[in-house]
Structure formats: structure tokens, C-alpha cells
């Protein structure tokens, strides 16, 4: 068993990006610029946003966070986004989800200019992904494929099982695994015999958001397990994944940890996406 460290891989990615950004700054006269919009003070969201801005600083990406009250109206938020869309010095726009209930998340996502949509959530980016056209890839799925490939693990022909069917992770990671020629099963809360289905997976990607849900019976000997969950362990209060690491890890060939696995890769891929949007914006691509 080997732990794939997202912390190490993301650090290497950030170092490489920092060097590129320095060169781009000379070539194009400015650095990439990411604007993060945060509504309210949900501790999870605040912590994600802090992680993103810290990474941007490390890479040399200019960044700012617009923090608004959770009472902000949909109209106000949409008008802010329109302004950022028009602003030629802004390369990437990220509105931290989830949004307060009175705001239509879909409306917000489709208002962000598709070429500044560093999350890859805009319907045009999603459609492009499903038709294998050039697009901005969503960060977490992109990071998951990077983690697997970093160890030279063959994906082609493998049985991959994804647990969860969210727009942010489950669906797009299934599509990326399919594009790598895996045979993909998407499972969810209504799946019958979930444990048996998972136990057939060469590559298992739990993304359901339930602490330590995946137990050893669900792991095939030698499987690759990429844990997307970010949960609080109800017993210890500590951060934990969807996988019961201690009992599952010995059965696997490769596994990621929470924290230090998928999370830092998501952020590194967000930096990559910001640089991609910037290169497009300055006319380099």
C-alpha cells in the first residue's frame, strides 16, 4: 500500500506554475487575476476560500476576495458578476458555493462569463466536457485524474466506481475516467448492493460526504482509492474522508488521505484554470 500525497503533488505543481507566472508577467505585462466572491461566514466556505487565496499568493496570482453579507440579494450578486465579466483585468471569477437559499445557484453559475469560469461549472463548459471539446475542467475531478496518473497507474480498461452523482464531482469525474477508457459505474443512495459493486472496483472514488462510510468489505484487494470526502468525524471532531482509512488502507495498492489528498489538488487545479483563463484573456491562447 502506498499513500498518494496530494499535498506533495500540489506543492510541485504550484512551484512550476509560480515559475511560469513570472515569465508570463514579463511577456504579457501583468499577472493572472482571480476574484473570489464569498457570501456569508459559513466556516467551511471561509476555510476553502482562505486555502484558495493562500495558494494564489504562492503561485503569484493576484487575488482578491469580495466578502458580502448572506443577506445580499440575487440581483446585487448578479450585478457584481456582470461588472467582473466586463472588467478586462479580471481573468477568473469564483463564487463560493453553497449560496444562501434565496439565491438561485444555477442563475449565478450561468451569469459568470464562460471564459472566466475557473470552476468549470458554466453549462457551456459542462456541455463541452461531455462532448470532449476544449473546456475548463472542474478542479476536483481534474485533480483526481492527476493524482492517479502521478503514480503511473493505468486507467484504461479498469473498472472504476464513483460513489455520488453531484455536478461538482461525481458526474464530471465519471466522465473524465470514461475519457481515460475506464469502465465506469456511478453509484448513489439508491444503488442496490453498493458494497458488492464497490468491491469490484479497480479504482474507487467515494464522493458522497459521509464520514468513514467506505469499509473494508467494499474494497477489492489491490484497488486504488481516491477519497473525495471532507467531513468531520462525529467521534473525534477531526477532519476525515468518506473512507475508513485505517481499516481500508491495508487492502489497497494506492490510497489518498483526508486531509492532504484531493483537497490540495483541487486548489492547485484552480490555479491552473486561472492561468488558462488568463492566457486566453491576454490573447496567448
133 is in an annotated binding site: no
Applying CB under 6 A, which part among 88-96, 199-207, 235-243, 275-283 lies near ligand GUN? 88-96
164 is in an annotated binding site: yes
The residues carrying an active-site annotation are: 52, 96, 119
Query: What is the phi/psi pair of residue 39, to 5°?
Result: -105, 125
Task: Say if residues 148 and 158 touch (Cβ distance below 8 Å).
Answer: no
- Tell me: does residue 119 bind ligand GUN (CB under 6 A): yes
Task: Say if residues 255 and 245 touch (Cβ distance below 8 Å).
Answer: yes
Cβ closer to ligand GUN: 115 or 119? 119
Cβ closer to ligand GUN: 42 or 76? 42
38 to 57, contacts with ligand GUN by CB under 6 A?
Answer: none
190 is in an annotated binding site: no
Gap between the Cα atoms of 213 and 270, Å rounded? 28
Query: How many CB atoms neighbour CB 131 within 10 A?
Result: 8
Query: How many CB atoms neighbour CB 274 within 10 A?
Result: 30
- Tell me: does residue 93 bind ligand GUN (CB under 6 A): no
Task: Say if residues 53 and 35 touch (Cβ distance below 8 Å).
Answer: no
Q: Residue with the closest Cβ to ligand GUN?
A: 97
- Tell me: does residue 111 bind ligand GUN (CB under 6 A): no
- Tell me: does residue 168 bind ligand GUN (CB under 6 A): yes
- Tell me: does residue 267 bind ligand GUN (CB under 6 A): no
- Tell me: does residue 96 bind ligand GUN (CB under 6 A): yes
232 is in an annotated binding site: no
Spatial CB neighbours of 240, under 8 Å, sequence gap ≥ 6: 211, 212, 229, 231, 232, 233, 258
How many residues sit close enough to ligand GUN to count as binding (CB under 6 A)? 8
Helices first, then strands: H and E counts in the chain = 10, 11
- Tell me: does residue 139 bind ligand GUN (CB under 6 A): yes
Gap between the Cα atoms of 187 and 198, Å rounded? 9
Applying CB under 6 A, which part among 64-72, 77-85, 89-97, 128-136 lies near ligand GUN? 89-97
- Tell me: does residue 112 bind ligand GUN (CB under 6 A): no
How many Å from the N-terminal Cα to the C-terminal Cα in the chain?
41
- What is the CA 222 to chain-centroid distance, rounded? 25
Query: For binding to ligand GUN (CB under 6 A), which residues are involved?
Result: 94-97, 119, 139-140, 168
Annotated binding site for NADP(+): 164-166, 230
Amino acid at each position: 500500500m502506498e499513500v498518494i500525497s496530494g499535498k506533495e503533488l500540489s506543492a510541485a505543481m504550484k512551484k512550476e506554475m509560480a515559475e511560469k507566472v513570472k515569465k508570463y508577467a514579463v511577456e504579457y505585462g501583468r499577472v493572472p487575476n482571480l476574484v473570489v466572491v464569498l457570501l456569508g461566514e459559513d466556516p467551511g466556505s471561509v476555510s476553502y476560500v482562505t486555502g484558495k487565496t493562500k495558494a494564489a499568493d504562492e503561485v503569484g496570482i493576484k487575488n482578491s476576495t469580495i466578502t458580502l453579507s448572506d443577506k445580499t440579494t440575487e440581483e446585487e450578486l448578479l450585478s457584481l458578476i456582470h461588472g467582473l465579466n466586463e472588467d478586462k483585468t479580471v481573468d477568473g471569477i469564483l463564487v463560493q458555493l453553497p449560496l444562501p437559499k434565496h439565491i438561485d445557484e444555477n442563475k449565478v453559475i450561468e451569469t459568470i462569463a464562460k471564459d472566466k469560469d475557473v470552476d468549470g461549472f458554466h453549462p457551456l463548459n459542462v456541455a463541452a466536457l461531455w462532448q470532449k471539446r476544449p473546456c475548463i475542467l472542474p478542479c476536483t475531478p481534474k485533480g483526481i485524474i492527476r493524482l492517479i496518473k502521478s503514480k503511473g497507474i493505468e486507467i484504461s480498461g479498469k473498472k472504476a466506481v464513483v460513489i455520488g452523482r453531484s455536478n461538482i464531482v461525481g458526474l464530471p469525474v465519471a466522465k473524465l475516467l470514461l475519457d481515460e477508457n475506464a469502465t465506469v459505474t456511478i453509484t448513489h443512495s439508491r444503488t442496490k448492493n453498493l458494497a458488492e459493486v464497490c468491491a469490484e472496483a479497480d479504482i474507487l472514488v467515494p464522493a458522497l460526504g459521509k464520514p468513514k462510510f467506505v469499509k473494508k468489505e467494499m474494497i477489492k484487494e489491490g484497488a486504488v482509492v481516491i477519497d473525495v470526502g471532507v467531513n468531520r468525524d462525529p467521534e473525534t471532531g477531526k477532519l476525515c474522508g468518506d473512507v475508513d482509512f485505517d481499516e481500508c488502507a491495508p487492502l489497497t495498492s494506492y490510497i489518498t488521505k483526508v486531509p492532504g489528498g484531493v483537497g490540495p489538488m483541487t486548489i492547485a487545479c484552480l490555479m491552473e484554470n486561472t492561468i488558462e483563463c488568463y492566457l486566453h484573456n491576454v490573447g496567448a491562447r
